[in-house]
Amino acid sequence: MNRSTGWRLAAASLAAVVLASAGTACSSSTGTSAADGGSASAGGTYTVWDPYPQFDVGSAWAKLLDTCGSQAGVQIKRTAFDTSDLTTKALLAAQQGNSPDVLIVDNPVVSTLAEAGVLTSARESKVDTSAVSPNLLAAGQGGGETFGTPIGANTLALYYNKAVLNAAGVDVASIKDWASLTAALTKVKAAGKKGITFSGIGTEEGSFQFLPWFWGSGAQLTHLDSAQAASALSLWTDWVKQGLAPNSVINNTQTTSWQEFATGEFAFAENGTWQLANAKKAGFEYGVIPVPGMTGGTAPAPTGGEFVTVPVQKKTARYSVSDKLVSCLTSADNSYATDATLSYIAPTPTVQDKQAAADPDLKAWVDAVKAAKGRTSDDLGTKYPKISEQLWTSVQAALTGSKSPQAALSAAQSAAAH
């Protein structure tokens, strides 16, 4: 009995260690298995990783990849990842030396991967970026180099519910700046409806949603504690305090925020291009206006959307085919078709105009994308993630009332500069 008991106790304590470490250790070491099928595969097979798991084998996107592959004379092996997994997967694959040939990745991640030395510069891979709008390309630029090219862009604007605004007697054309927007929200509330919903959650999504207001006040990401920044955060905080925005915005993702808007109770929702298809299904008349700047004009909203990049390979001879694939995927015709499936705005002015001409609904979005700004632009690069984390923390602190907007932003600035 004694011996077996000792063994059993040892097993129990081992189990304790193992269970507790499973959550953390695995996350840093698994993933290598998912990174198989890398570029080492023989002959003419090229691997493509994308963050579009919603598209299966029969989708237009998968077919486009195959077409581009056969045009370049190679076979395509495609793997789709959840976008939040892709950064880690790409880093691990690079560590194991089996990066994909073409990697399609969310634009703020490009600078991180470039910093890690995972991506080739456009100079090396010969990818042509001359037609792309400079404000979109900037998200993938750093240190004088360009890493990849955008496949499409999306950004944020304000959706509004026409019926709610009409009932409250608000003319949407009167909304030019923050003061007129707040006045409209107050009218809507007085009419018994809800004002505006957005996402202030404590993740990158929260920063993404706050940035149009932050930049619209004239604030800079390098100075989180400026008076302009405080006025932007005060705007949000006051809305929540006065009940013009619901308390749930503190925990809203962009999806849950959209669900609130879809109830038909809200006058406004700050949301992205990708909700257009859902907006058409919402069952009420809607419109879109750009986020106004503090004293008028259109506030620069952050750009979303992915970059097509060419990761570093041991066999540099592969770059010429990869370049063909990238050019094919981002060519004018294909980009028009792809961006329609993704509900994105094209990255080149020519295709943008074509989109706006074909679908007048997209006009507001094309304008918003033209005014938009990359989060990692202005040579912020890998400084952005740290700044952003402090920014969303300060938003949460102010919205919950645990700190005043100015105090929250001052704390954020000192932590980000630290």
Contact residues: another protein, CB under 8 A: 1, 3-30, 84, 87-88, 91, 94-95, 108-109, 111-113, 115-118, 201-204, 246-248, 250-251, 260, 263, 382, 384-386, 388-389, 393, 396-397, 399-400, 402
- CA gyration radius for the chain? 24
Residue 7 Cβ, how far from another protein at the closest point, in Å? Answer: 6
Residue 192 Cβ, how far from another protein at the closest point, in Å? Answer: 15
Q: Which is nearer to another protein, 153 or 289 (CB)?
A: 153
Distance CA 121, CA 227 (A): 38
Query: Cβ of 240: how many Cβ atoms within 10 Å?
Result: 19
Q: Which is nearer to another protein, 8 or 314 (CB)?
A: 8
As a whole number of Å, the end-to-end CA separation of the chain is: 58
Residue 320 Cβ, how far from another protein at the closest point, in Å? Answer: 24
Residue 9 Cβ, how far from another protein at the closest point, in Å? Answer: 5
113 token code pair: 């991967």
Per DSSP, what are the bridge partners of residue 75?
45
Report the candidate in 44, 19, 33 with the shortest Cα–Cα distance to residue 318.
44
240 token code pair: 């929540």
Residue 219 Cβ, how far from another protein at the closest point, in Å? Answer: 20
Q: Which is nearer to another protein, 187 or 386 (CB)?
A: 386
Q: Amino acid identity, residue 335?
A: S
Q: β-pairing, 194-197 with 266-272?
A: parallel
**For residue 144, with 0-12 CB atoms within 10 Å meaning exposed, 13-18 middle and 19 or more buried, which class applies?**
exposed
Q: Which is nearer to another protein, 69 or 200 (CB)?
A: 200
Residue 5 Cβ, how far from another protein at the closest point, in Å? Answer: 7
